[in-house]
Amino acid sequence: MDDAGAPAPPEGFEPVASKGGFMIHNGPFYERVRTDGVVERCFWATPSHTNGFGLVHGGMMATFMDGLLAQAVVRGAGARAVTVNLSLDYLRMARAGEWVMGEARLLRAAQDLAFAEGRAFVGAVDVVRASGIFKLFRR
């Protein structure tokens, strides 16, 4: 367990160096990159991530998926990126006391836009499906 009482992250996952107070407040997040270019992230759902029903809040899931898709774009396109559009389908519920896992991949990068898709899941059950469009900022 770590200092917050969460179990150690799944094997191969390392802490994400979060930038900005919003992401630090909502984390910690953990990440690994597979050899096929898919970016994987996860977080341990705590009561602070839940709504009044004790389920992981939809806003938390949106935050998680936005960061995950953006990271897939950054790694795949080699450019900084900001969200232009984020579409989510909430399929099932996640609860406090579960590892919420996610995976995302870059679909296509054009001159100044990139497209990504991903999913979040708990165990073998998908909880969110997401797609996004990102504005690229090449150096």
Tell me: the pLDDT tens digits for 38-96? 999 999 999 999 999 999 999 999 999 999 999 999 999 999 999 999 999 999 999 99
Secondary structure of residue 27 in the 3-state scheme = coil
- Tokens at residue 138, please? 């090449």
Cα–Cα distance for residue pair 115/85, rounded to 1 Å: 10
Amino acid found at 1: M
Is the separation of the CB atoms in 102 and 64 below 8 Å? yes
Is the separation of the CB atoms in 27 and 43 below 8 Å? yes
Residue 2 is predicted with a pLDDT of 41
Cα–Cα distance for residue pair 58/129, rounded to 1 Å: 12
Amino acid found at 10: P
Residue 40 is predicted with a pLDDT of 97
What confidence category does residue 115 fall into, taking pLDDT thresholds of 50, 70 and 90?
very high
Residue 4 is predicted with a pLDDT of 56
Q: CA torsion sign, 57 to 8 to 101 to 103?
A: positive
Q: Does residue 7 register a pLDDT over 80? A: yes
In the chain, what are the domains?
14-137 (3.10.129.10)
Mean pLDDT estimate for the chain: 91
